[in-house]
Structure 1
Amino acid sequence: MADGTDDQASNATQRIRRRAQTAREEVEGRIHDVEERIHDIEARAREMDARIEKRVGRNLPKALFFGLVLGLSLLFSLIFVTELFMLFGAALVVFTSYELASALRFAGRDVPRIPVVVASLGVIAPAYYFGAVGLWAAFLAGVALVTVWRLVEQLRPSLRNDPAVSLPTDLAAGIFVLAYVSLLGGFAVVMTATDGGEWWTLAYLIIVICIDIGAYASGLAFGKTPMAPRISPKKTWEGFAGAVAVALIAGVLLALFMLGQPWWVGLILAAAMVVTATVGDLTESLVKRDLGIKDISTWLPGHGGFLDRLDSILPSTVAAYLVFLAFGVA
């Protein structure tokens, strides 16, 4: 009787173990299926990112994240405390001038980075407190500093006797960095410091961003005809058309609801931004092509360098400032 009870208990235990084993195997199988699906989703996401990056030349998620961080920082400085825009602009000018000078040095132009950075930083405060006059004065002082520094460097025997060193080319490269980065960027500081100018700065930046987004989306969806295949193969006329359409709409809306201007002023501002942003983008692509590099630097994940993000903005600053002087100054 006891043996029968023991057999029944043993059989029950074995059934429980088999059921537990079966349940464990089912759970493990489901977990495995879930893991396989996750891996499959990750693989498809990586494949999609790779296709997008191959087509547009950037890592889109990283680009969006860092672009959002920079955009929110800029927005805060313009709307709440305009003095912070001076610090924001100073940081951008320092990093951008340093990376461009470094890229030129890599290509064989002996650009002295220390005076270039100092001179670039030196334009911000005069531009903010003394306007366009202060900007030009600081820029010319910076040119003098870079020139004297490079001339003193040339006195070293290692440079004086080096036939590969071209002093005029080096001086021109240093002045190019100051003009392209600090002088052009300085006009945004001048405009922001003027009464009501911060809204014009914000407006032109929004339009340039819309141009970038419109060109990207339209080019990705419809792009077939290269605009300048030898300079920038990924830019298409279809993308340009999308940029124009988005920019004009944004310009009209910003003129009416943010700047308090007639709709046609928004069209003028947008049209100017389309021209300068496109020229700036192609110019930076031409510079990189001449230097033999893909990105000016790798400081901004998904974006390349600071100049890779400011290439459309810097030339547009001057055009925006001129439109502001024509219509925005009371």
Structure 2
Amino acid sequence: MTDASGTEPVGDSPGDPDAPLTRRDAADTRRTTPIAPELHAQIRAARNEFESQVAHARAEFDQANERIKERTGRNLILATLIGLAIGLLLLASLVFLKWVFVIFAVAASVLGIFEFSRALQGAGRRVDVIPQLIAGTLLVIGGWFLELWLLWVAVFAAVAFVVVWRLVAQMFVKDGRTYGGVLRDVLTAGFIQLYVPFLTALCIVLLRQDGGEWWVLSFIIIAVASDTGAYATGLAFGKHPMAPKISPKKTWEGFGGAAVAALIAGVLLALFMLGLPWWTGLICGAVILLTATAGDLGESMVKRDLGIKDMSSWLPGHGGVLDRLDSILPSTIGALALYYLLSPLAAS
């Protein structure tokens, strides 16, 4: 209903409290009307309950993480996040550009040589870090360019280089070091080259083969699955030590979990990644299981001899670079041998 001017009635006067409300005034009134106190109370109660549940869940999670950390000496959450980040970088480098993985491998080798050398120096060994890094870097790069037989020549040259450097350096020092100490230093120098850069170079040799990126990815996955299976099973059921004098926390139950995980991963990778018969996956899983376990126990023995828990603390939750590569590096030998033996089956 409008008046003669065509406007809606607004009452007797704008300030008249008894005047009828216009549609705009009614809308403004609804918007400015406060929410009922009861609804406010319900919202606050619901929010407090939610915050309480989150705090309780976080407390339980932290307690569980502390129990795991107390038993294993690792921050599980931080270790998992770092492991995932490294895994994504590794996967991206293998899938998209092989040469990017070579850079990744050189960097890992350099860090591994450096932290191993520093750990040995801390235990009283005489290690020449600079020549170790030079020889090791050239050796890893040689894995991309040299044939396998030439790589053996290269590793011999690298070992000879660091050994001669150590002997000459010892001659100039003349500090009265015993013959046994000098011999130990020389053997240590050669071992560093054989353990870190040479095994890394074998991985590069495998990488450059036809379809080698999938073989590298497969054996790394099997090694990681083996480690994860051993960790989870040992944490949940481990009671019988496997090698108490070398690594007291490793158990036969953990080894059983590692075996199951490695064999399952091997079969799945053989079928869906390598194009091999399923039974070859059992062979791959078994071989990598043994080499990964041997590598893990071998580094544990070295660290026990040096009196250290981790090679370094560069990777929170993991220790050092070599603490993550201990099962992978020795597995390069088995993986390369498996490639030469089983890859012809993929073409048939």
Aligned to 1:269: 284
Aligned to 1:296: 311
Matches within 5 A, 1:163-178: 163=178, 166-178=181-193
What is the Cα deviation at residue 38 of structure 1? 6.3
Contact 1:192–1:198 (CA<8 Å) still a contact in 2? Answer: yes
SS at match of 1:272: helix
Write the distance in 2 (CA, Å) between the matches of 1:133 and 1:85: 22
Contact 1:124–1:135 (CA<8 Å) still a contact in 2? Answer: no
Aligned to 1:207: 222
**Pair 1:51 & 2:67 matched:** yes
Question: Which residue identity is paired with 1:184?
Answer: L
Write the distance in 2 (CA, Å) between the matches of 1:259 and 1:34: 49
1:84 to 95, 100, 103: 100
**Pair 1:286 & 2:301 matched:** yes
Contact 1:127–1:134 (CA<8 Å) still a contact in 2? Answer: no
Q: Percent identity?
A: 48
SS at match of 2:329: helix
Using a 3 Å threshold, how does the CA distance of structure 1 residues 53 and 164 change in structure 2: closer, same or farther? farther
**C-alpha deviations, 1:105-152, integer Å up to 9, x for none?**
110110111111111111122111123234222212211221122122
Question: Which residue identity is paired with 2:144?
Answer: Y
Aligned to 1:103: 119
CA RMSD of aligned residues (A): 2.4
Aligned to 1:247: 262
Deviates more, 1:94-103 or 1:139-148: 139-148
Write the distance in 1 (CA, Å) between the matches of 2:300 and 2:55: 37
Based on CA coordinates, which of the two structures has the bigger radius of gyration? 2
Matches within 5 A, 1:27-38: none
SS at match of 1:234: strand
Write the distance in 2 (CA, Å) between the matches of 1:167 and 1:239: 40
Write the distance in 2 (CA, Å) between the matches of 1:288 and 1:98: 15
Contact 2:140–2:198 (CA<8 Å) still a contact in 1? Answer: no
Write the distance in 2 (CA, Å) between the matches of 1:226 and 1:219: 10
Write the distance in 1 (CA, Å) between the matches of 2:241 and 2:257: 14
TM-score with structure 1 length normalisation? 0.86
Write the distance in 1 (CA, Å) between the matches of 2:195 and 2:178: 28
What is the Cα deviation at residue 230 of structure 1? 1.5
Write the distance in 1 (CA, Å) between the matches of 2:179 and 2:56: 55
**Pair 1:181 & 2:193 matched:** no
The structure carrying a bigger helix percent of its residues is 1
**Pair 1:71 & 2:87 matched:** yes
Question: Which residue identity is paired with 2:141?
Answer: A
TM-score with structure 2 length normalisation? 0.82
Aligned to 2:153: 137
Aligned to 1:223: 238
Write the distance in 1 (CA, Å) between the matches of 2:312 and 2:287: 28
Question: Which residue identity is paired with 1:131?
Answer: E
Question: Which residue identity is paired with 2:198?
Answer: L
What is the Cα deviation at residue 36 of structure 1? 7.3
Write the distance in 2 (CA, Å) between the matches of 1:126 and 1:169: 28
**C-alpha deviations, 1:264-289, integer Å up to 9, x for none?**
11111110011111111111111111
SS at match of 1:314: coil
**Pair 1:315 & 2:330 matched:** yes
Consecutive unaligned residues in structure 2, runs of 5 or more: 1-36
What is the Cα deviation at residue 155 of structure 1? 2.4
Contact 2:142–2:201 (CA<8 Å) still a contact in 1? Answer: no
SS at match of 1:227: strand
Write the distance in 2 (CA, Å) between the matches of 1:152 and 1:35: 68
Question: Which residue identity is paired with 1:210?
Answer: A
**Pair 1:121 & 2:134 matched:** no
Q: Which has the higher contact order (CA 8 A, sep 6+)?
A: 1
Aligned to 2:26: none
Contact 1:127–1:133 (CA<8 Å) still a contact in 2? Answer: no
Contact 2:141–2:201 (CA<8 Å) still a contact in 1? Answer: no
Contact 2:288–2:331 (CA<8 Å) still a contact in 1? Answer: yes
Aligned to 2:5: none
What is the Cα deviation at residue 31 of structure 1? 9.2
